[in-house]
Amino acid sequence: MGSGKSTLGRQLAKRMNRQFIDLDKYIETKAEKSITELFKEQGEKAFRLLETRYLFEVVKLKQPCIIALGGGTVCSNINLDIVKQSGILVYIVLSANDLFNRLRKSNTKRPLIKGLSPEALNLYIHRMLQDREPYYKQAHIPINGMGLTDTQLFETIRAYAP
């Protein structure tokens, strides 16, 4: 959440001449509801089941693509296994403070942090990273996200899987 997955993914897909899929946008299109509405109406647990369903769908597409996953997508062993077996999983590493600075300035609607005070947001980010880090660290490629460009990301991925 807030690491630049969608922005860098879109740029990387263009550079590599591949289709770009933002999993959250894909879910919204398929469900015909926003992520915020899905969370509000069904709760996080139901959303995560829907997310797994559509993740399966996306990774089975025939053409190679770059997929930007939601921040919590790989935080289940099923989803983590699906992603790792289907391609190269990249973890864009940012500190809790860097994420806080990005997210407090963001005007993107994120249901898990909507309406949080700066103090609550900071606490949420620290807890979220603590919970999610064990999953994130299982990525094929961890890469520092501060100042990361699509060129650096491309070169890192190419060095990993020429």
- Global pTM value: 0.86
Query: Region 95-114: what's the mean pLDDT?
Result: 77
- Helix intervals (H) in 3-161: 5-16, 23-31, 35-59, 77-86, 96-105, 118-136, 150-160
Question: What confidence score (pLDDT) does residue 106 get?
Answer: 66
Nearest to 49 by CA among 39, 34, 60: 39
Torsion, Cα 80 86 125 142, to 10 degrees, reads 110
CB atoms within 10 A of CB 57: 13
Check: CB of residue 153 under 8 Å from CB of residue 143: yes
Q: Report the percent of the chain where pLDDT is more than 90.
A: 55
Domains of the chain with CATH codes: 5-147 (3.40.50.300)
